[in-house]
């Protein structure tokens, strides 16, 4: 469903598009030329066009940075929002996906969404459970080709998929080694299996007692990206289907999320946004060996489809999973009868890789270098909202984000 804006923003955007076309027709010099000193010198032989280019660029920059025009934050380079119920989506986009090329961030722009990816791991776990590939309460060592044992415990306590999905497995993110999962470039030098074996197998080069906690599985909450990636690997190992293909077959295709995937398409890099740090510095593309825990790439339209399906699943109106699977997926795993140490009071409960926050909303957040994502729905009125940006969430833009998020309200008409 297209965004509805006031007349002024519509006129501004229309003028912007005309200005961009005018600019491109007068000054066909791409970014490579502008970075090349001899060609840049030649371009300046046309002083009137050079001045016109500068003027148009200044006006364009002003439009995108003006709160008066857009009523939005100037501190995010590019972002998208969506307000959702079971039948409709209201999507809006702002800013740039590439500042150098003056390319708009629009509803087709694809970006990684960080830990919102874990929502898909949860759905994949339930589908794998339905297909009898796995059982949520079986020792994961039965599904993989190496043994995972917590070296800090005297007795071997089995770790299950339910433990992984609720971050109570005892597997921790040891930053010394976990940061090595991130590498510059489009393709990771490590496979998911290679990295996990190196981190969790006692003979692995990244193995350490610090990779594990001091409590048996199920007793302590400790948010674990490695644990999430391990859950995806268990699905891969048990089903004999690569995790990216499993999710494509059983989640993305059924939901018509045709622009969603896990790895960069080297032949269509113009589909993706550039990512920016808190100082607006453009980051290089990077890859993630433990890709299921945070490297899902999608656009606001596809992500809205996913959130709509979550709402339908909660309401008993989705056939992506069985009714019983949806019930398990959303069932709260922590209670007074099942106390867990270390639970975050802001996120006091967990389904299967789906979080319950203090307000009662259900969903997930995501962050990684150069991006932030928020995706939640209200189970009382069955409406949801999404914010996704191509820039870090920081102290500088936190208040602006809060303002944007709080103003994402469903139409009361």
CA distance 100 to 89: 31
Second-level CATH architecture of 112-406: 3-Layer(aba) Sandwich (3.40)
The reported pLDDT for the residue numbered 33 is: 34
CA distance 98 to 104: 7
CA distance 368 to 159: 27
Residue 3 has pLDDT above 50, yes or no: no
What is the average per-residue pLDDT within 171-185? 98
Q: Residue by residue, what is the 3-state secondary structure of 319-341?
A: CCCCHHHHHHHHCCCCCCCCCCE
Predicted TM-score (pTM) of this structure: 0.83
pLDDT tens sequence across 306-351: 999 999 999 999 999 999 999 999 999 998 787 899 998 888 999 9
Contacts of 300 (CB under 8 A, 6+ apart): 80, 81, 82, 91, 93, 107, 109, 386, 388
Share of the chain above pLDDT 70, in %: 82
The reported pLDDT for the residue numbered 9 is: 40
Of 260, 24, 7, residue with least CA distance to 119: 260
CA distance 41 to 45: 7
Question: Which DSSP helix (H) or strand (E) runs through 83?
Answer: strand 78-84
pLDDT tens sequence across 186-228: 999 999 999 999 999 999 999 999 999 999 999 999 999 999 9
Under 8 Å between Cβ of 119 and 354 = yes
Question: Which DSSP helix (H) or strand (E) runs through 19?
Answer: helix 7-26
Distances (CA, A) of 361 to 300, 358, 374, 378, 405: 20, 7, 12, 5, 13
The reported pLDDT for the residue numbered 90 is: 97
- The SS3 call for residue 316 is coil
């Amino acid at each position: 469903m297209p965004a509805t804006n006031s007349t002024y923003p519509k006129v501004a955007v229309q003028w912007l598009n005309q200005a961009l076309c005018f600019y491109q027709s007068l000054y066909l010099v791409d970014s490579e030329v502008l970075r090349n000193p001899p060609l840049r010198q030649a371009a300046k032989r046309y002083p009137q066009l050079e001045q016109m280019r500068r003027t148009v660029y200044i006006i364009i920059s002003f439009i995108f940075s003006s709160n008066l025009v857009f009523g939005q934050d100037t501190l995010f380079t590019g972002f998208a929002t969506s307000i959702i119920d079971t039948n409709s989506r209201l999507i809006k986009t702002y800013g740039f996906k590439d500042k150098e090329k003056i390319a708009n961030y629009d509803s087709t722009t694809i970006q990684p969404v960080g830990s919102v990816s874990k929502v898909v791991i949860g759905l994949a776990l339930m589908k794998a459970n339905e297909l009898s590939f796995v059982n949520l309460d079986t020792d994961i060592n039965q599904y993989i080709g190496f043994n995972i044992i917590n070296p800090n415990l005297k007795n071997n306590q089995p770790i299950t998929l339910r433990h992984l999905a609720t971050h109570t497995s005892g597997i921790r993110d040891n930053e010394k080694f976990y940061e090595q999962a991130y590498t510059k470039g489009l393709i990771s030098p490590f496979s998911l299996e290679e990295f996990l074996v190196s981190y969790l197998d006692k003979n692995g080069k990244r193995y350490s007692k610090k990779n594990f906690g001091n409590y048996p599985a199920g007793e302590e909450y400790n948010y674990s990206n490695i644990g999430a990636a391990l859950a995806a690997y268990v699905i891969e190992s048990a089903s004999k289907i690569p995790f990216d293909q499993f999710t494509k077959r059983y989640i993305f295709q059924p939901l018509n999320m045709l622009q969603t995937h896990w790895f960069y398409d080297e032949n269509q890099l113009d589909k993706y946004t550039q990512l920016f740090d808190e100082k607006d510095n453009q980051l290089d593309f990077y890859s993630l060996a433990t890709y299921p825990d945070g490297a899902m790439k999608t656009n606001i339209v596809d992500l809205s489809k996913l959130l709509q399906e979550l709402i339908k699943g909660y309401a008993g109106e989705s056939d992506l999973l069985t009714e019983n699977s949806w019930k398990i997926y959303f069932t709260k795993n922590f209670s007074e009868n099942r106390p867990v140490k270390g639970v975050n009071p802001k996120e006091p409960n967990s389904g299967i890789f789906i979080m319950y926050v203090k307000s009662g909303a259900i969903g997930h957040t995501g962050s990684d270098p150069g991006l932030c994502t928020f995706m939640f729905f209200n189970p009382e009125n069955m409406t949801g909202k999404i914010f996704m940006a191509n820039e870090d969430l920081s102290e500088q833009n936190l208040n602006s984000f809060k303002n944007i998020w709080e103003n994402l309200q469903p139409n009361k008409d």
